[in-house]
Chain A
């Protein structure tokens, strides 16, 4: 549990400094955010970076703005999300997830950007953001800034659209008209553990409390988080309190999901979990949307 030699440690205090550092040290350099996954990988020598670029001092990455839409800096910690009362209704799922990632120490250091860039197979943040449909801003010294949607950002587990020399800067949830709600739930053998199954639902309601659009993502699958478009479509046109239709929609996801047996749960069990955890997420998302006013 002792890392291989790390030659350089950089702790830039600005975005430009961070991007310059990664450009300078190149392929063998690694950004470190909260370090809650990365340090384990380094200590067990799964990865052996020559250079660590610590983002702790980059204040621009730590801001959480709720002015026009919501912009969350990549270095915003779970505890800051969990404790932000402004993230309700439409972004309620973010708080649901951030409140139950790991233990208190993990939530005190772990960051949303770190989790998205690491994209661990069953982690909560990729599943939640996939359903909430944010746009991500990335930047590099040579190519400047670019935006990418979450569907395109998340790749196979442990892979993303982020290039070697790029830094994830922020996650932006645009301001939306109308009434929206989201919720996330997970099941793991131990309290606040990595989910065996996690389901995020995000819904929009019209004036008459009928669902206009929905996104449903499921985490805990071998493939990493997946959206289930047929389940999403099945929710459109459904009343916010039509429990039977909610159940029908999540059942589509439960049936379509590609599931492999493993020690934690066999296929049947996982499908059942998608149904039970998913139904609760959908019901809560609708309740939050129904309770919401306009705007956020």
Chain B
């Protein structure tokens, strides 16, 4: 769906962010410098699990240029550990207590053990070489299933097991109702004519923003703490820093730089390093800077997925799904990251397990283990990548069992009517999954493809087609978000018009590539009739912007843009009231239009005023206003809904697999998406292309590798292999079968988070379809040529 053209909503307005970036005038974290700043480098654990017997820092301290050498023992009484109220998840998981530096023992390869503060980064690294840590290795806990067994060594001292989290989704069923429900699920599976029982596994992979993390903190005795940080959630960071350092919130100001080189979720959690940097700034009374290296980044953040699903899926004779039981398991790593704690992702993945399918009886559980690995950190497609893979693969396996075309079985089981509520309690507000899905099927032209496939097989060529779908979060509502991460979901923006007709929008999130500046300018342009160049967007600074949860969870098009529209509409109505009063006209809002920097009455041409003129009238010349009206044109608006909004994607992948080399070539990749009213088509397409490519890269190339002792082997980008343009196909994105969202003021749906969700199903199904002559079913990722050959051989 597209709206109007020009510069407003629905136009492919070129990104306003691009020009300064292309001219090298972007303002990134690494461009910041404060006079007298010191540099921090971390000595990180070389063991996955070991007792710290002693740390000798004397030589490092004596090196000229070294200002401080800090260990966990030294700081543990000087700042509070996590969890604190602001960084705790709302859920009843077991959140481990941790400080920024290891105390007593190390629990993953790469954990910060000692921090060196020095006058320049060279000296800091020199000093690291002079530190001697004496370790006593402890048994490595690296397998999630073994970690959950009663005889496993324990990762966190004082815990009686490695289980950090378990959930058995009840939705609104009481305990006794749930007992009956589960019994019914078991009976249905027991007696169903067709059942698929399969373990599906998605490996540890995730997201890798081009810009790693960075923190620069400065202390001032009267103003308090000033922190510049690469962050998706500056307001949340502010609360957490205040908690950890026992400061009033008013003494902490956090700024996320105007430009950030991607985040994809990674910059939304609370990690060890920033807490230490802020502490050191106060302790040493000097600006302290830490910029993460790529190696540190790959060893500590961006690791996600890593789930196992034991799935049973039952269908009747006609291919209608009647019941499912998904017993999930996940590896949280050490679980030490505020807000998410390593289990939030698998929780969300499990909660959204039923996807776009009508599964009348569905039992879902998720158990999460801590291990001696880096913590799972949030990543685009939060938690859903493995569950989408499992269910979409199971549906194709079911289709083959029954002898149905997979696309037909999938269509038969789509949720046909919305709103809907899933067995796990998740709600979907609106849309038409079938319409958007049918568009994909039309684009794919399956009858023609099946003929080609048959002909190709006769020549010894193996081509296949696969579908994946995703009913994904379009913003999350507070009731769910608070239990997940301990933060609310609403979006707050503050729209201020100045006396010359300029409009400044203040908002507290921290976009990092989402093009919010452009889209906000388009919305203001549409709502107030100004030009996008009249609009300024200020974001990411806790001093000037209202509290907002962060640039996470597909909140942009659903919540943030909605709040901008609501604020603009309030201002517009006020302007109409004053204008009508001044001209003794009827203030019927529908009679006025705002365009070309003017307000005019639709039916009387001489009833008009310049936008700037009217703004001046209300802001500066604020006398003789209508009764009860005040001056000023500043409006804060908060937007949220108390139910889950949804966007929908259906992806189709065409692949060719070489039976001799195992090589996989994606011939064509199509998406049909319901983004509601598309605010900026070019930006939407960019989001979807990016999400699909990330999904493909996860599926075929990226893997965080730990050896049998927990040593990380994927610490450079030559080992952690990410797709580049040459490795991926063009993505054909269609959004012409979307539906207006009745629950957002602009009719828009958000796609940024979930557009990766349909990828693993589409690829897994396409590759399995291609290899049917060999009876191959893909049930594990990553899928590499070596694995394909092995599957064909067996």
Report whether chain A binds chain B. yes
Q: Name B residues whose Cβ lies closer than 8 Å to a Cβ of A.
A: 121-122, 124-126, 129, 293-295, 660-663, 700-701, 703, 705, 713, 718, 721-724, 726-727, 784-786, 789-790, 793
User: With A and B bound together, what is the CA distance between A272 and B721 in angstroms?
Assistant: 22
User: With A and B bound together, what is the CA distance between A2 and B723 in angstroms?
Assistant: 27
User: With A and B bound together, what is the CA distance between A3 and B122 in angstroms?
Assistant: 7
- Cβ–Cβ contact A269 & B121, under 8 A: no
- Cβ–Cβ contact A5 & B126, under 8 A: yes
- Cβ–Cβ contact A190 & B793, under 8 A: no
Give the shortest distance, in Å, between B30 (CB) and chain A (any CB): 13
- Cβ–Cβ contact B718 & A273, under 8 A: no
Known A189-B721, A190-B727, A191-B726; contact A1-B661, beta-carbon cutoff 8 A:
no
- Cβ–Cβ contact A194 & B726, under 8 A: no
User: With A and B bound together, what is the CA distance between A272 and B122 in angstroms?
Assistant: 47
Give the shortest distance, in Å, between A100 (CB) and chain B (any CB): 10
User: With A and B bound together, what is the CA distance between A144 and B160 in angstroms?
Assistant: 72
User: With A and B bound together, what is the CA distance between A194 and B703 in angstroms?
Assistant: 17
Give chain A interface residues in 86-118, CB to chain B under 8 Å.
103
CB-CB nearest 9 A-B residue pairs: A191-B726, A269-B786, A265-B786, A2-B125, A2-B122, A2-B121, A1-B293, A276-B661, A191-B727
User: With A and B bound together, what is the CA distance between A54 and B793 in angstroms?
Assistant: 51
Give the shortest distance, in Å, between A20 (CB) and chain B (any CB): 29
Residues of B within 8 A of A194 (CB): 718
Q: Mark A178-201, 1 if CB is under 8 A from B, else 0.
A: 000000000101111110000000
Q: Which of A45, A189, A268, A276 contacts B701 (CB 8 A)?
A: A189
Residues of B within 8 A of A152 (CB): none
- Cβ–Cβ contact B661 & A193, under 8 A: no
Known A193-B721, A263-B705, A276-B661; contact A268-B793, beta-carbon cutoff 8 A:
yes
Q: Is residue A57 contacting chain B, with contact meaning CB distance below 8 A? A: no
- Cβ–Cβ contact A5 & B660, under 8 A: no
User: With A and B bound together, what is the CA distance between A276 and B785 in angstroms?
Assistant: 13
Q: Is residue A156 contacting chain B, with contact meaning CB distance below 8 A? A: no
Residues of A within 8 A of B129 (CB): 4, 45
Residues of A within 8 A of B126 (CB): 4-5
Q: Which of B293, B295, B726, B785 contacts A269 (CB 8 A)?
A: B785
Q: Is residue A142 contacting chain B, with contact meaning CB distance below 8 A? A: no
Residues of A within 8 A of B718 (CB): 193-194
- Cβ–Cβ contact B713 & A263, under 8 A: yes
* A266 to B, closest residue via Cβ: B786
- Cβ–Cβ contact B727 & A266, under 8 A: no
- Cβ–Cβ contact B726 & A192, under 8 A: yes
- Cβ–Cβ contact B790 & A266, under 8 A: yes
* B41 to A, closest residue via Cβ: A2
- Cβ–Cβ contact B701 & A190, under 8 A: yes
Give chain A interface residues in 214-270, CB to chain B under 8 Å.
263-266, 268-269
* A275 to B, closest residue via Cβ: B660
Give me 9 A-to-B residue pairs in the complex whose CB atoms sit less than 8 angstroms apart, sorted by A's number. Answer: A1-B293, A4-B126, A5-B126, A45-B129, A189-B721, A263-B713, A268-B793, A272-B661, A276-B661
- Cβ–Cβ contact A276 & B660, under 8 A: yes
* B291 to A, closest residue via Cβ: A1
Interface residues of A: mostly helix, strand, loop or mixed? Answer: loop
- Cβ–Cβ contact A264 & B723, under 8 A: no
* B658 to A, closest residue via Cβ: A276
Give the shortest distance, in Å, between A194 (CB) and chain B (any CB): 7
Give the shortest distance, in Å, between B259 (CB) and chain A (any CB): 22
* B123 to A, closest residue via Cβ: A2
Known A191-B727, A192-B726, A269-B662; contact A264-B786, beta-carbon cutoff 8 A:
yes
User: With A and B bound together, what is the CA distance between A140 and B516 in angstroms?
Assistant: 61
Q: Mark A1-28, 1 if CB is under 8 A from B, else 0.
A: 1111100000000000000000000000
- Cβ–Cβ contact B790 & A268, under 8 A: yes
- Cβ–Cβ contact A273 & B661, under 8 A: yes
Known A187-B661, A272-B660; contact A5-B122, beta-carbon cutoff 8 A:
yes
- Cβ–Cβ contact A269 & B789, under 8 A: yes
Give the shortest distance, in Å, between B436 (CB) and chain A (any CB): 33
Residues of B within 8 A of A266 (CB): 786, 790
Residues of B within 8 A of A192 (CB): 726
User: With A and B bound together, what is the CA distance between A45 and B718 in angstroms?
Assistant: 17
Give the shortest distance, in Å, between A71 (CB) and chain B (any CB): 32
Q: Knowing that A44-B295, A189-B784 are A-B contacts, what are 11 other residue pairs whose CB atoms are under 8 Å apart, sorted by A's residue number?
A: A1-B294, A1-B295, A189-B721, A190-B722, A190-B723, A263-B705, A263-B713, A264-B786, A266-B786, A269-B786, A276-B661
User: With A and B bound together, what is the CA distance between A272 and B787 in angstroms?
Assistant: 13
User: With A and B bound together, what is the CA distance between A269 and B786 in angstroms?
Assistant: 5
* A270 to B, closest residue via Cβ: B786
User: With A and B bound together, what is the CA distance between A194 and B721 in angstroms?
Assistant: 11
Residues of A within 8 A of B700 (CB): 189
User: With A and B bound together, what is the CA distance between A175 and B356 in angstroms?
Assistant: 69
User: With A and B bound together, what is the CA distance between A110 and B192 in angstroms?
Assistant: 63
- Cβ–Cβ contact A45 & B122, under 8 A: no
Known A189-B721, A191-B727, A194-B718; contact A268-B789, beta-carbon cutoff 8 A:
yes
User: With A and B bound together, what is the CA distance between A263 and B706 in angstroms?
Assistant: 11
User: With A and B bound together, what is the CA distance between A193 and B716 in angstroms?
Assistant: 13
Residues of B within 8 A of A264 (CB): 784, 786
Give the shortest distance, in Å, between B748 (CB) and chain A (any CB): 36
User: With A and B bound together, what is the CA distance between A2 and B790 in angstroms?
Assistant: 43
- Cβ–Cβ contact A191 & B784, under 8 A: no
* B785 to A, closest residue via Cβ: A269
Residues of B within 8 A of A263 (CB): 703, 705, 713
* B784 to A, closest residue via Cβ: A189
- Cβ–Cβ contact A45 & B789, under 8 A: no
User: With A and B bound together, what is the CA distance between A136 and B555 in angstroms?
Assistant: 62
Residues of A within 8 A of B727 (CB): 190-191
User: With A and B bound together, what is the CA distance between A190 and B122 in angstroms?
Assistant: 33
Known A1-B295, A189-B701; contact A272-B789, beta-carbon cutoff 8 A:
yes
Residues of B within 8 A of A4 (CB): 122, 125-126, 129
User: With A and B bound together, what is the CA distance between A4 and B130 in angstroms?
Assistant: 12
User: With A and B bound together, what is the CA distance between A103 and B789 in angstroms?
Assistant: 28
Residues of B within 8 A of A103 (CB): 724
* A4 to B, closest residue via Cβ: B126
* B663 to A, closest residue via Cβ: A187
Residues of B within 8 A of A272 (CB): 660-662, 789
Give the shortest distance, in Å, between A42 (CB) and chain B (any CB): 12
Give the shortest distance, in Å, between B725 (CB) and chain A (any CB): 9
* A263 to B, closest residue via Cβ: B705
- Cβ–Cβ contact B789 & A191, under 8 A: no
Give the shortest distance, in Å, between B298 (CB) and chain A (any CB): 13
Give the shortest distance, in Å, between B713 (CB) and chain A (any CB): 7
Residues of A within 8 A of B724 (CB): 103, 190-191
User: With A and B bound together, what is the CA distance between A204 and B661 in angstroms?
Assistant: 29
User: With A and B bound together, what is the CA distance between A187 and B722 in angstroms?
Assistant: 16
Q: Which of A2, A190, A265, A268 contacts B721 (CB 8 A)?
A: A190
User: With A and B bound together, what is the CA distance between A119 and B661 in angstroms?
Assistant: 28
User: With A and B bound together, what is the CA distance between A192 and B726 in angstroms?
Assistant: 9
Give the shortest distance, in Å, between B137 (CB) and chain A (any CB): 23
Residues of A within 8 A of B723 (CB): 190
Residues of A within 8 A of B294 (CB): 1
User: With A and B bound together, what is the CA distance between A269 and B126 in angstroms?
Assistant: 43
User: With A and B bound together, what is the CA distance between A245 and B727 in angstroms?
Assistant: 33
* B723 to A, closest residue via Cβ: A190
Give the shortest distance, in Å, between B46 (CB) and chain A (any CB): 15
* A268 to B, closest residue via Cβ: B789
Residues of B within 8 A of A45 (CB): 125, 129
User: With A and B bound together, what is the CA distance between A191 and B661 in angstroms?
Assistant: 16
* B126 to A, closest residue via Cβ: A4
Give chain A interface residues in 147-166, CB to chain B under 8 Å.
none
* B705 to A, closest residue via Cβ: A263
User: With A and B bound together, what is the CA distance between A5 and B793 in angstroms?
Assistant: 53
User: With A and B bound together, what is the CA distance between A59 and B243 in angstroms?
Assistant: 62
Give the shortest distance, in Å, between A105 (CB) and chain B (any CB): 12
Residues of B within 8 A of A2 (CB): 121-122, 124-125
Give the shortest distance, in Å, between B794 (CB) and chain A (any CB): 11
Residues of A within 8 A of B125 (CB): 2, 4, 45
Residues of B within 8 A of A187 (CB): 661, 663
Give the shortest distance, in Å, between B629 (CB) and chain A (any CB): 60
